[in-house]
Structure 1
Amino acid sequence: MIRRLGYAALLTILAAPMLMPTGALAQRRQPMPSREELGTPQSAPVQQQQEKNFPLGASWTAVSLNGKPISDRRATLMVDQNLRGTGFAGCNTFSAAAYPLRQQSFAVGPLALTKRSCDKGLSDFERSYLTALRATQKWDLVNGKLVLKGGAGELQFDRAL
């Protein structure tokens, strides 16, 4: 027992100086200089762009498709509080899951569509409109207009009454 106590005491006596800072080490430890003292310019605080909220429950009327005005056709869109997109595509009504996501991303699920027959011009417009809508990846509000962009083009909407 004395022998064990002796070894423990001896280890404590030998290890203590290694764990305690010596005078030379203590003198070298100084606080880090500030950026101003070093002459390093501080970077300006990064301003994060405020996330926009998608206008759920608002009715919109399409005014342009891929930069071309839509004057002789009527197409609408509304995304409700349940994230259900509904509207009129020029000939048929449609509905689909529509998800406004973070960073102004947007996803539209498969479309359910009525099956009214229309003339060729109206059918072509409807196909282009629904293709652009289904391919939408980003949304934005620009000067009061809803802008949807995706791989199949860009749609712009005015707020409907």
Structure 2
Amino acid sequence: MNRRLGYASALALTIAPLLALSATTAEAQRRGGNPAREQPQQEVPPPPQQDKTFPMGASWAAVSLNGKPIGTMRATLQVDANLRGTGFGGCNTFSASAYPLRQQGFAVGPIALTKRSCDKGVSDFERSFLVALRAARNWDLVQGRLVLKGGGGELIFDRAL
């Protein structure tokens, strides 16, 4: 008889957890839930955002300076693989060190400029353009446009040929 009780006890110990699980499953299904979902799930963090790659070697034409369209003025920028920024400011050509940094940072070194004489409106535009370029601290690509922002304002460029 002890032997039968031993088997019965072992069988009861084995079956009891299965019956409890079955009862939990049946209760969850009756409530319209899923027992697997009843347990709290760990949140999965979103994948880290990858840094954008600065478009080296691309030519850009300015279309906006501090939120205002440039209109008939013309200004350009190109940053080559040697981290040299070159372009046209409206009257003169320029050259400067231009460093795209991590996390879309941007640094422009001192600007070397030709010394052509231009009318006051063009000279004023060029000065504002070069100040905004020199003070740029961040860059971004937004809808195919290059955006440079910093203490001197915001420059928006379209891709040029």
Compute the TM-score of the two structures, normalised by the length of structure 2. 0.74
Structure 2 residue runs of 5 or longer lacking an equivalent are 1-35
Specify the SS of the correspondent of 1:147: strand
Aligned to 2:119: 119
Q: Residues 60-99 of structure 1 correspond to what in structure 2 (within 5 A)? A: 60-99=60-99
* Separation in 2, partners of 1:147, 1:154: 7
* Separation in 2, partners of 1:159, 1:132: 19
Q: Residues 1-161 of structure 1 correspond to what in structure 2 (within 5 A)? A: 41-161=41-161
* Separation in 1, partners of 2:159, 2:99: 19
What is the CA deviation profile of residues 132-151 of structure 1, one whole-angstrom value per residue up to 9, with x for unaligned ones?
Answer: 00000000000110000001
Aligned pair count reads 124
* Separation in 1, partners of 2:90, 2:118: 9
Compute the TM-score of the two structures, normalised by the length of structure 1. 0.74
Instruction: Indicate the RMSD between aligned Cα atoms, in angstroms.
Output: 1.3
What is the CA deviation profile of residues 46-65 of structure 1, one whole-angstrom value per residue up to 9, with x for unaligned ones?
Answer: 32111100000000000000
Structure 1 residue runs of 5 or longer lacking an equivalent are 1-35
Q: Give the superposition deviation at 1:45.
A: 1.8
Aligned to 1:8: none
Specify the SS of the correspondent of 1:124: helix
* Separation in 1, partners of 2:121, 2:155: 18
* Structure 2 residue identity aligned to 1:47: P
* Separation in 2, partners of 1:81, 1:40: 51
Q: Give the superposition deviation at 1:44.
A: 2.1
